[in-house]
């Protein structure tokens, strides 16, 4: 409905452009969505209007979305997952702009298979500072012998993603991610803070570990973002970090040169997961 409606007045991007974008990236995006509960950001009036999260089916089901087993989250409406690639474009037709996923996936949602550190810059932080911060986070996680992957957030920052074996509870993984952030903020207090809130992070970077708690979600790889310019969250190689111009380096209009590369920057991700046990011990001894 209303395909020519402008959803981003800063660029003139229309609804049909977003629908086509999701049809195009569906094959790249589905591996990141498969089996994971999804939260949708909907903006019926475009970016300038009210936006809201949707985590459960509403009156009218959206084609391509499936209800998950209610046993995954007892006492709540069933969570949703994107069941087919075509579902992405159907969602966009229903004014969905963003897709966020949980850190766990079927069949065992009780044990996360990754954690995410979201580098969230405070007022006055420059892009080179964010690039440097990502490298520092990578160094620490590598010293803990953990695999470390990178993607742009599509917004202002970067997402550092660590695949882990499904051996620990949500609470254990969240607590570990918090301990990592506390350690970094304690070691380099002039650059990092471990507390959220704008006042705490003027001129500094808050490393957001809060996304790692149940049932939180993080912007999925290849999702568009509901902000001016409509940047995209794109998997990148660490070697590409110096050449990036910002967290929204790619937008839904200029992504085409990236499609051939696709998910290749995260080659090996599926087999990279490690147990957090040794890293927990190392960090405790640090």
Residue ranges in the chain whose pLDDT is less than 50: none
pLDDT on residue 175: 97
Residues contacting 203, CB < 8 A, separation 6+: 122, 123, 124, 125
Whether pTM > 0.85 for this model: the answer is yes
In this prediction, residue 196 carries a pLDDT of 83
pLDDT value of position 209: 97
Task: Give the pLDDT score at 2.
Answer: 86
pLDDT, residue 213, reads 97
Which pLDDT score is estimated for 286?
67
Residue 179's pLDDT is 97
pLDDT digits 0-9 by tens, 215-273:
999 999 999 999 999 999 999 999 999 999 999 999 999 998 999 999 999 999 999 99
pLDDT the model gives residue 50: 96
**What pLDDT, on the 0 to 100 scale, is given for residue 197?**
82
Dihedral sign for Cα 51, 56, 62, 64, please. positive
Q: What's the pLDDT at 89?
A: 96
């Amino acid at each position: 409905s209303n395909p020519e409606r402008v959803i981003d007045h800063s660029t003139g991007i229309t609804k049909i452009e977003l629908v086509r974008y999701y049809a195009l990236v569906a094959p790249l995006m589905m591996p990141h969505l498969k089996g994971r509960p999804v939260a949708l950001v909907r903006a019926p009036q475009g970016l300038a209007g009210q936006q809201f999260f949707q985590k459960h089916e509403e009156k009218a089901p959206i084609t391509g979305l499936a209800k998950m087993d209610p046993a995954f989250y007892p006492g709540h409406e069933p969570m949703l997952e994107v069941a087919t690639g075509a579902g992405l474009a159907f969602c966009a037709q229903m004014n969905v702009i963003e897709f966020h996923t949980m850190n766990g996936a079927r069949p065992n949602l009780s044990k996360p298979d990754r954690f995410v550190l979201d580098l969230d810059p405070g007022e006055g932080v420059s892009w080179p500072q964010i690039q440097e911060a990502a490298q520092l986070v990578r160094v620490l996680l590598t010293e803990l012998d953990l695999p470390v992957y990178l993607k742009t957030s599509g917004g202002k920052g970067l997402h550092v993603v660590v695949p882990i074996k499904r051996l620990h509870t949500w609470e254990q993984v969240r607590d570990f991610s918090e301990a990592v952030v506390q350690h970094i903020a304690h070691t380099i207090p002039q650059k990092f803070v471990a507390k959220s809130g704008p006042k705490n992070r003027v001129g500094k970077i808050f490393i957001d570990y809060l996304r790692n708690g149940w049932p939180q979600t993080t912007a999925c790889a290849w999702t568009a973002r509901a902000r001016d310019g409509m940047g995209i969250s794109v998997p990148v190689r660490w070697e590409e970090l110096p050449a990036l111009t910002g967290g929204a380096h790619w937008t839904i209009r200029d992504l085409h040169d990236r499609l051939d590369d696709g998910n290749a920057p995260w080659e090996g991700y599926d087999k990279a997961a490690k147990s957090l046990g040794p890293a927990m011990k190392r960090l405790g001894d640090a």
